[in-house]
A and B are shown apart, each in its own frame.
Chain A
Amino acid sequence: MLERELPRVISGANSEKAENLKRLSGHLALFKESIFTSEIQ
């Protein structure tokens, strides 16, 4: 959900909010990569 929603919200946000959301997006990408790996499951 969050991954799908973020690009839309970032594009419509003012610069400060967009920067915050981009940082959030970076954390999310790393988390997605590590949490859903077959190694853990």
Chain B
Amino acid sequence: MIMKSFESFLTEERLERLNFETKVKRLNGLVSQMGEGYRKGSERVKRLPVDSSCRIMMEPFRQVHGEEEVKADIDYVKDRERKWQEEDHEREQESIGEQFELLKTAIFNKYLGERFIVVRSSFYDDYKNGVDNVMVDIQNGNVVCAFDEVGDDSFFKKLKEEKVSAKNLEEGGSSLKYGIKLKDGHPVATRLQNLPIFCLSLSADKIREGIQEMEFSVNKKSSAEDKMFEVFMEELKSQVI
């Protein structure tokens, strides 16, 4: 009897995990669909150089930084990733971090997509400059950046404030070597400096919960997404004003 209930517990747990993994795949699919939309372009914003995970691609910047420099930066990215793999670098934390990046990229695109391009930064700017997301205002071309923290809001509040403050007030904001600005709706690949950077945070539990309750469609929003967007906007507000 005890054995039977233990078996059923394992099955339930396994099913739950499989169900969550399926949802993460669907979230990947949704972000990929958004990336595809950017790559195809629209009336207002022409074709953007982003990959299937909505991340700014580095290769098109050869004309800006030169062939050799871009190659060196791509090598830097590969080298960093290889070292992480060798060190087995906090895999679980990394994976929840990746899920959070996908989640907020999807949510910001759903809620702000009419006004902003919201993409993930190039791997180089992610690793070198600590920027996770890049937001480009479609109307005035203004660019801001965001990074994220997976953690409990109360615990991270102080740390987050310090990091945001140091990046903006001490370092003069963030830089993007692989940045995008818009000229008449056409993306221009360029280096950008002195961009305000903000931090968005969510606990691991909230990230999992958010993914569980998400609508995996570009045009549909769940009440859980409404709440998460509200939290992000409040966070931004408290850091801006």
Q: Residues of A with Cβ closer than 8 Å to B?
A: 1-6, 9, 17, 20-21, 23-24, 27-28, 30-32, 34-36, 39-41
Compute how far the CA of A36 lies from the CA of B232 in the bound complex, rounded to whole angstroms.
Answer: 12
The verdict on B237 contacting chain A, using a C-beta distance below 8 Å, is yes
Compute how far the CA of A21 lies from the CA of B196 in the bound complex, rounded to whole angstroms.
Answer: 10
Task: State which of A5, A27, A36, A40 has its C-beta within 8 Å of the C-beta of B144.
Answer: A27
Evaluate contact between A31 and B137: CB separation under 8 angstroms: yes
Compute how far the CA of A23 lies from the CA of B195 in the bound complex, rounded to whole angstroms.
Answer: 8
Chain B residues near A39: list those with CB within 8 A: 115
Evaluate contact between A6 and B115: CB separation under 8 angstroms: no
Find residues 83-131 in chain B having any chain A CB closer than 8 Å to their own CB. Answer: 111-112, 114-116
Find residues 166-198 in chain B having any chain A CB closer than 8 Å to their own CB. Answer: 168-169, 172-173, 193-196
Quote the shortest CB–CB distance from A31 to chain B (angstroms): 5
Chain B residues near A21: list those with CB within 8 A: 169, 172, 194
Compute how far the CA of A26 lies from the CA of B236 in the bound complex, rounded to whole angstroms.
Answer: 17
Evaluate contact between B194 and A23: CB separation under 8 angstroms: yes
Evaluate contact between A40 and B111: CB separation under 8 angstroms: yes
How many residues on chain B are close to A (CB under 8 Å)?
Answer: 29
Tell me whether chain A's interface is mostly helix, strand or loop, or mixed: helix
The verdict on B139 contacting chain A, using a C-beta distance below 8 Å, is yes
Quote the shortest CB–CB distance from A16 to chain B (angstroms): 9
7 residue pairs of the A-B complex, CB under 8 angstroms, read: A1-B241, A4-B241, A5-B169, A17-B172, A27-B143, A35-B112, A39-B115
Identity of the chain B residue whose Cβ is nearest the Cβ of A32 in the assembled complex? B240
Evaluate contact between A2 and B240: CB separation under 8 angstroms: yes
Chain A residues near B111: list those with CB within 8 A: 40
Chain B residues near A32: list those with CB within 8 A: 240-241
Compute how far the CA of A31 lies from the CA of B196 in the bound complex, rounded to whole angstroms.
Answer: 9
The verdict on B13 contacting chain A, using a C-beta distance below 8 Å, is no
The verdict on B238 contacting chain A, using a C-beta distance below 8 Å, is yes
Given known A20-B172, A30-B137, contact A2–B239 (CB-CB < 8 A): yes
Given known A21-B172, A28-B196, A34-B139, contact A40–B240 (CB-CB < 8 A): no
Given known A1-B240, A39-B115, contact A20–B169 (CB-CB < 8 A): no
The verdict on B165 contacting chain A, using a C-beta distance below 8 Å, is yes
